Structure 1
């Protein structure tokens, strides 16, 4: 179970880094917000889901 939590935290960390770099670049690019709005919202939803899943799985570790 500990390996599963470590893997989830690793995936969450990598995904967070991608979002921290990708979202400001998208917002700073002219005209990209309209094209990438759904992708950014989807990424934020996936990130929130990963946080909730990681917390849920972590609650089973004593």
Structure 2
């Protein structure tokens, strides 16, 4: 169970790094926002889901 939480945290950290770099680059590039809007919103939804899932599963570990 602890290994699963650690993998969730690793996925959360990796996705956070990708979003911290990717969103400003996308917003600064001309015309990229219209092309990448759906991908960015999906990535943010996955990020929020990972936070909620990690918190819920972590609450079961004593």
Give the TM-score category using the shorter length: over 0.9
TM-score (norm 1): 0.97
Aligned length: 62
Consecutive unaligned residues of structure 1, counting only runs of 5 or more, are none
Q: Which residue of 2 aligns with 1:51?
A: 51
CA-based RMSD: 0.5
1:41 aligned partner: 41
Give runs of ≥4 in structure 1 deviating > 6 Å.
none
What is the TM-score normalised by the length of structure 2?
0.97
Provide structure 2 residue ranges, at least 5 long, that are not aligned to the other structure: none
